[in-house]
Structure 1
Amino acid sequence: MKRTLLLAAFSLNSYAYDGVYNDAEIHFVDYFQRTNGVSALIEVMDKSNINHAFLMGMPVKKKWSSFDEAEPDFVFGDDSPVYYYSYTDSILVNHLSKSKYQNRLHPFITGFNPTDLFAAEHIEELLRSNPGFWKGIGEILTRHDTLSKLTLGEQSRANHPALMKVYKVAAKYNLPVILHSNITSEREKSPLYKSELEEVLVKNRKTKFIWAHGGSSSTLLKSQRLDFLIDEARDLLEENDNLYILASWTLLDIIVKDAKSKEEWLALITDYPERFMIGSDVVGKFKNTGKLLSKWDEVLDLLPKDIANKMAEKNMLSMINIAE
């Protein structure tokens, strides 16, 4: 009864969201480094009431191995690996540097190996070579279950020494960092990797971190409900003012899976109204961008108007010091 009353209270203080969206996670290319291009993206954004987007490449590329009879068409379609691909950032530069939409599309650096101690130097060289172009760093892929298993080389983690150097560069240039770091593994029903993220947050207080999908993934949800995630997210937000949550992909499934979960996450968003932003997480193809963002209306509709506007629009822009 108490839970029903709390959800009813959210409903009474809410409205049907009818504002604009900003998308905090669009991968301009897919795992084969192919894209529909800027014109296709802008067309979808205009039709879907999306004003701005954080735009990033894909840090890894799928390999077509000699033992594969056919060209792969899905990153998880076979056992061939993926490898770090730095040219993904050049693709963004080539498409955006002369685009009239630079005021709406905000590029992030992602083409580096997060286990390479030279990564920070590489990023700083990019920043110096194109002053003012880059608006952030990420999505950095760490602890990404199946994708991590396919990635050639050393496995990445949020607190890897190479990334600790990257975070210092981010702070130096006041760039937000989008970080993917699963809260746990497929098997463990406890926050196995939380300590890695905590170390990052504590040792890099001047860096703003956007936690992609709140530490969830589709692979994790196939093996467990992640009921403990809400408590861990609340703890991390309470203890770390430099942490923000990117509400995208599987996090929506976790929030709306039942009345209890919805109530708890709505309370968390309300308690930390400046710390959540939405994203579509599309990769290379953009026709579903608006549809994916509008799915968040199920959450936005239950929030007070000012908080819904922050989550859907304003919080993302504040990360790159744009006010609208």
Structure 2
Amino acid sequence: MKITKNFIDNIIKDELNGDLSSLNNELKKLDKLSGCKYEMIDTHIHLVDFNQKTTGLKNLLVQMDKANIKAGVIFGLSVVKIWEEFESRRPEYYLDDDNACYYYGNTDAIVAREYLSLSKKDQKRFFPLMCGFNPMDLNSVEHIIQTYKTFPGVFYGIGEVFYRHDDLTHMTYGEPPRMNTLATKKLFEFISEYDLPLCIHNNITAPGVSDYPKFLHELETVIREYPKARLVLCHCGASRRLKTPYYTKMMARLFREYPNLYADFAWVVFDDIIALNEKSMNDWVDLTEEFNDRIMIGSDVLGNAFEEIGLINSRFNIFLDKLTPKTRENICVNNAINIYTKSKNKVEKNKKRVYPKLEDFKI
């Protein structure tokens, strides 16, 4: 039997005794969860999952069109999860079992190949970043330069680089990543030299001592030394199991002291901290209004779950409704354009930052 739309409609009518109004009301509720009601640039999209698998950028474009997303900042994942022989099922996420992860340089090649497979028109909707290196390795900048040379004209910057990252920190092979190292200073010198954006994951504290910002000094040590480095602190430095009553005050101080610091509202910072209650929501609205040129929003979706991107971003609607139109436009679109879209081809063409010379000044 051929199944037609009328056939399905008749079944629904029978179930609802001929009344479709209740069904239509439920469908309208679902429409509100299909994406952000305001056009946005999603600044936090992982093209792959923790097995380095992806359903592809063409599929992502379909989901973006459904979810009111005009463009996306995309990157891979710098680590891959090991599937040990004694595990009966392949782990899909880093917390699916207790086994380790390791750094995976090919993640940038996956991003580049997907990006280059698109038409020129569709490429304009993506801003790829690279992340496939060990941030504790003094060779990391050399690896980055080599990736730029291998895939010229693809990457707009660097990220998401994992430093302190709850359980992932001690599940990744090698020295636990932290920011106050020589390797990180070399990276900051590099991004300062070429004026590249860098987005990082760096928890500001650990779950057991979340009433105290244990790791914050690691971030500040570096960003204070490199005031020209454009740094995006993903999730505002938040992670799982952090109960931090000082968060808005901390972020306000960081924004005031470091004009080169930006942040995104992605992943758990929104659910666990910003939208915790009405007071918290209002405090973050005030913070966002004050620093409306420093904040962006993103889904933090993985490459095996692009169909969830609309539902994830619909969470922001209640927050965005509280903002002034100017602030809302900045965090939804303008800030992403200003931070991520102006750095293409700088490394490939050796376009270093030009500083004024002393002799140029007339006294």
What TM-score does the superposition give when structure 2 sets the normalisation length? 0.80
- For residue 18 of structure 1, report the CA deviation from its aligned partner: 4.6
Which among 139, 146, 155 is matched to residue 167 of structure 2?
146
Contact 1:237 1:244 in 2 (8 A): yes
Deviations along 1:26-65, one digit per CA (max 9) or x if unpaired, are 0000000000101110000111110111100000000012
Q: Which moved more, 1:286-295 or 1:128-137?
A: 128-137
- For residue 320 of structure 1, report the CA deviation from its aligned partner: 2.5
Q: Distance in 1 between matches of 2:124 and 2:92?
A: 33
Residue 41 of structure 2 aligns to a residue whose secondary structure is strand
Q: Distance in 2 between matches of 1:200 and 1:293?
A: 32
Contact 2:156 2:340 in 1 (8 A): yes
Residue 76 of structure 1 aligns to a residue whose secondary structure is coil
Q: 1:128 — aligned with what?
A: 149
Deviations along 1:217-241, one digit per CA (max 9) or x if unpaired, are 1233xxx2x1111111111000000
Contact 2:115 2:154 in 1 (8 A): no
Which ranges of structure 1 fall in alignment gaps of 5 or more residues? Answer: 1-16
Instruction: Please show how residues 72-151 of structure 1 align to structure 2 within 5 Å.
Output: 72-100=91-119, 101-151=122-172
* Amino acid aligned to 1:158: M
Q: 1:9 — aligned with what?
A: none
Q: Distance in 1 between matches of 2:91 and 2:150?
A: 35
Q: Does 1:196 align with 2:215?
A: no
Contact 2:100 2:173 in 1 (8 A): yes
When the two structures are aligned, how many residues end up with a matched partner? Answer: 302
Instruction: Please show how residues 206-285 of structure 1 align to structure 2 within 5 Å.
Output: 206-220=228-242, 224=243, 226-253=244-271, 254-284=273-303, 285=305
Contact 2:297 2:332 in 1 (8 A): yes
Q: Does 1:307 align with 2:327?
A: yes
- For residue 78 of structure 1, report the CA deviation from its aligned partner: 1.2
Q: Distance in 2 between matches of 1:56 and 1:75?
A: 17
Which among 339, 344, 351 is matched to residue 319 of structure 1?
339
Deviations along 1:241-264, one digit per CA (max 9) or x if unpaired, are 010011111111211212221222
User: Does the C-alpha gap of structure 1 residues 161 and 290 become closer, same or farther in structure 2, counting only changes over 3 Å?
Assistant: same
- For residue 130 of structure 1, report the CA deviation from its aligned partner: 3.0
Contact 2:49 2:92 in 1 (8 A): no
Q: Does 1:175 align with 2:193?
A: no
Which among 74, 80, 90 is matched to residue 71 of structure 1?
90
Residue 158 of structure 2 aligns to a residue whose secondary structure is strand
- For residue 69 of structure 1, report the CA deviation from its aligned partner: 3.4
- Residue identity over aligned pairs, in percent, reads 34
Deviations along 1:112-164, one digit per CA (max 9) or x if unpaired, are 00111100111012223333321110101111111111111100012222122
Q: 2:6 — aligned with what?
A: none
Contact 2:45 2:75 in 1 (8 A): yes
- For residue 176 of structure 1, report the CA deviation from its aligned partner: 0.6
Instruction: Please show how residues 28-67 of structure 1 align to structure 2 within 5 Å.
Output: 28-67=47-86
Contact 2:166 2:240 in 1 (8 A): no
User: Higher relative contact order at CA 8 Å, sep ≥6: structure 1 or structure 2?
Assistant: 1
Q: Distance in 1 between matches of 2:91 and 2:278?
A: 41
* Amino acid aligned to 1:172: E
Q: Distance in 2 between matches of 1:70 and 1:259?
A: 41
Q: Which moved more, 1:196-205 or 1:78-87?
A: 196-205
- For residue 74 of structure 1, report the CA deviation from its aligned partner: 3.0
Q: 1:11 — aligned with what?
A: none
* Large movers: runs of 4+ above 4 Å: none
Q: Distance in 2 between matches of 1:208 and 1:283?
A: 25
Contact 1:124 1:169 in 2 (8 A): no
What TM-score does the superposition give when structure 1 sets the normalisation length? 0.90
Q: Distance in 2 between matches of 1:71 and 1:21?
A: 34
Q: Distance in 1 between matches of 2:68 and 2:159?
A: 25
Q: Does 1:184 align with 2:205?
A: yes
User: Does the C-alpha gap of structure 1 residues 70 and 297 become closer, same or farther in structure 2, counting only changes over 3 Å?
Assistant: closer
Q: 2:355 — aligned with what?
A: none
Q: Which moved more, 1:60-69 or 1:136-145?
A: 60-69
Contact 2:112 2:151 in 1 (8 A): no
Q: Distance in 2 between matches of 1:70 and 1:288?
A: 23
Q: Distance in 2 between matches of 1:190 and 1:168?
A: 29
Q: Distance in 1 between matches of 2:293 and 2:313?
A: 18
- For residue 321 of structure 1, report the CA deviation from its aligned partner: 4.1
* Amino acid aligned to 1:319: I
